[in-house]
């Protein structure tokens, strides 16, 4: 445990030595804070939520409205801050859905192999065969317009990538010595999969989720 903590500290110190990395990290943190605390940061929270003010429509940038107003008189800075909040929430939900659905399927396919692997991966290939945008539009058209339906529609064409990622990791890990040792001491399949193999797949999952 101490060795792992020391490795994390060394990695963090190396990252903080690169000015561009620190600058990019600072921008990301600022954007996250703006999105999380939008009601307290936005100059006009009610306009950020959609309240119009036609008397102030299409105003140029000023001290009162640093980025001007739109055609309904809403402060653009407040709208952008609230928009970032919606985008952040949507991104987190979609990534959690695709990881929660795709990763276990990849774990099962990679560990059991054979017909189970063929069935899962052919289903994933079938989803990938459809153009993702058209598939998402078809799902929204059939389920109705709403934020939840849009997030589900985005998630459906996306999960096979995580299934493939985890499957590849599992195939390379399941024959390693620590897995063979777990089998030798009588560990169940579920314990081997979720206690020994899955934790070693988390790093690429987190990296891919962050990039997405």
How much is the pLDDT for 7? 62
pLDDT at 19 over 90: no
DSSP assignment of the chain, as one string? -HHHHHHHHHHHHHHHT-HHHHHHHHHHHHHHHHHHTHHHHSSSHHHHTT---GGGTTPPS-SSSTT-B-TT--BHHHHHHHHHHHHHHHHHHHHHHHHHHHHHHHHHHHHH-HHHHHHHHHHHHHHHHS-HHHHHHHHHHHH-S-HHHHHHHHHTTTHHHHHHHHHHHHHHHTTSHHHHHHHHTT--HHHIIIIIIGGGGHHHHHHHHHH-
pLDDT digits 0-9 by tens, 49-70: 888 988 889 999 999 999 999 9
Note the pTM of the prediction, 2 decimals. 0.78
pLDDT at 8: 65
Q: What is the pLDDT of residues 162-197, one digit of tens each?
A: 999 999 999 999 989 999 888 889 889 999 999 999
Q: What is the pLDDT of residues 113-165, one digit of tens each?
A: 999 999 999 999 999 999 998 999 999 999 888 888 999 999 999 999 999 99
Question: Please, what are the domains in the chain?
Answer: 37-211 (1.10.3720.10)
């Amino acid at each position: 445990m101490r060795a792992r903590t020391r490795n994390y500290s060394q990695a963090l110190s190396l990252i903080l030595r690169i000015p561009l990395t620190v600058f990019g990290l600072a921008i990301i943190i600022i954007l996250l804070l703006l999105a999380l605390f939008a009601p307290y940061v936005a100059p006009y929270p009610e306009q950020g939520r959609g309240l119009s003010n036609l008397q102030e429509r299409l105003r140029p940038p000023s001290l009162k409205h640093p980025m001007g107003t739109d055609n309904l008189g809403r402060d653009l800075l407040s709208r952008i801050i609230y928009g970032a909040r919606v985008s952040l929430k949507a991104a987190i939900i979609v990534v959690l859905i695709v990881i929660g659905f795709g990763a276990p399927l990849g774990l099962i396919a990679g560990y059991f192999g054979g017909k189970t692997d063929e069935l899962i991966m052919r289903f994933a290939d079938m989803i990938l065969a459809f153009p993702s945008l058209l598939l998402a539009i078809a799902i929204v058209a059939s389920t109705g317009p709403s934020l939840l339906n849009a997030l589900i529609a985005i998630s459906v064409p996306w999960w096979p990538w995580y299934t493939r990622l985890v499957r590849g990791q599992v195939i390379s890990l399941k024959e390693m010595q620590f897995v063979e040792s777990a089998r030798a001491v009588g560990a169940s399949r579920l314990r081997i999969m979720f206690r020994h193999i899955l934790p070693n797949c988390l790093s690429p999952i987190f990296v891919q989720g962050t990039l997405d």
